[in-house]
Structure formats: C-alpha cells, structure tokens
Amino acid sequence: MAERLSLNKATACSNQYPDALIIGSDQVAVLDKQILGKPKTTEKAFEQLSLCSGKTVQFLTGLCLLDSATGKHQSTVIPFHVTFRELSNDEITRYVKKDLPLDCAGSFKWESLGISLFESLSGDDPTALEGLPLIALTKMLRNQQLQLP
C-alpha cells in the first residue's frame, strides 16, 4: 500500500512536470496487522497511543522516484520499528495536548516531544520515520546519474 501510494503521488505530478525527477512518499503505520491512520482528532490520537503503549509499531515508508520524461520509476518500502514504553493516560493526554500529532500516522511526532514516548527505535534509515527515507532516496538519485554530494 505504501509503495503504491508513493507511486500514485509521484505520477499525479508528472503532467505538471513533464521533464523532472519526481519524488513520491507515503507511510503506513501497522500495529498487530491493523493500519493506524492519521488520527485527525485528539480523541483518536489518545486511542491510538493507548493501543501502542508497551508495543512495537512497524512503520512502512514507500518511496518512489519517477522520471517523468521517460515514465520509468524506482520504488521501495523502508521498514522502521518503534517500541513504545508503557504510557499512562496522563502522559498520553499531556503529550497529545502539547504536540497535537493529529496529522501523523501513529499519533506522534518523533522529531518533537514524541521521542519521550519510546523505549527504542530500530531500522536502517531513521529518516524513514519522518516519512522521507533519505538514504534510499540518495541511492535512487545516484542511479539517475546525479552526483551526490
């Protein structure tokens, strides 16, 4: 799903940018085979974080680099795991009120106060957790003969 959505996002821009490298990315959070969407409300964020308490959530970030001139693309999915510590209702309420993670899969902003909710993080590319896996992206760009850095 994450890979398909990242390709769809890149393709949606291809008519507007007919001779460009277009990046598409999308992320899916999964807990016990259940997809955790963006909560949109504080109540739903509280519910999601309560479910995540003491558990490990897998984040699957789809990445696509589309060459709109040729129609060819590269795509991949980068996994990243977040283990939440046991969270009290008060901690969850305070966190949601301060960070307002209503537009974030999994109901947290790890680059902000969300880091305080975790016991551990694991994966090859921590930028995947933010929604744009830069290690994979730079590899794709090098495959397009771009010289980095």
Tell me the C-alpha to C-alpha distance, in Å, between residue 123 and each of 17, 47, 106, 119, 129: 33, 25, 17, 14, 9
Which residues are tagged catalytic? Answer: 26
Beta-carbon neighbour count of residue 59 at 10 Å? 24
Record the tokens describing residue 10, joined without a space: 């890149």
